[in-house]
């Protein structure tokens, strides 16, 4: 989440993950298991809310995400860990002029995926090559240990990505 002053907010469910977020540059860390994140976002932004939310939870956070956004805010849904179906009061979208967008690669054509790869190579890869953007990898597993990797993922005891390698 980002506010007008470009503060970086992090929501996590453990003190270890919050500390990690702080170490990599989060300005405000909120434990979603013990705190009302909407109230904390409003507190930290002077009641305005944030401008952008990148959400992997989906339905379970949908209304709270909308409530956390500033006027003209944008919610990008990139996952459904918290479900796919929800109800909402559409007046929130209108009153704050919000934008909600979903992003998924599965249903895109091969040609469209190629364009995305090209744009990532052009606009993102240089920052990775220069060390400005660093992926956070928690652990590598050989493909033969995919079940173990999945157990770790389900446990939520990791901080960062879990990779399967040949």
Give the model confidence (pLDDT) of 46-85 as tens digits.
999 999 999 999 999 999 999 999 999 999 999 998 999 9
What is the average pLDDT across 97-114? 92
Length of the chain equals 166
- Residue 96 sits in the same domain as residue 76: yes
- Residue 96 sits in the same domain as residue 111: no
- Residue 94 sits in the same domain as residue 152: no
- Residue 98 sits in the same domain as residue 33: yes
- Residue 61 sits in the same domain as residue 111: no
> Domain containing 119: what range?
106-134
- Residue 64 sits in the same domain as residue 74: yes
| Mean pLDDT of all residues belonging to the chain | 92
54 occurs within a structural domain: yes
Count the domains in the chain.
3
- Residue 23 sits in the same domain as residue 38: yes
Is the entire prediction scored with pTM above 0.85? no
């Amino acid at each position: 989440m980002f506010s007008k002053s470009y503060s970086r907010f992090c929501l996590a469910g453990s003190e270890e993950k919050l500390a990690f977020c702080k170490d990599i540059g989060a300005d405000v860390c909120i434990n979603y298991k013990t705190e009302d994140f909407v109230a904390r976002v409003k507190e930290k932004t002077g009641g305005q809310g944030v401008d952008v939310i990148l959400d992997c939870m989906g339905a379970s956070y949908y209304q709270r995400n909308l409530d956390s956004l500033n006027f003209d805010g944008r919610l990008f849904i990139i996952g459904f860990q918290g479900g796919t179906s929800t109800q909402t009061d559409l007046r929130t979208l209108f009153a704050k002029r919000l934008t909600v967008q979903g992003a998924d690669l599965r249903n895109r054509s091969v040609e469209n995926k190629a364009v995305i790869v090209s744009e990532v190579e052009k606009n993102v890869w240089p920052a990775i090559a220069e060390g400005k953007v660093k992926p956070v990898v928690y652990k590598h597993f050989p493909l033969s240990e995919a079940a173990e990797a999945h157990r770790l993922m389900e446990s939520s005891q990791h901080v960062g990505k879990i990779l399967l390698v040949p």
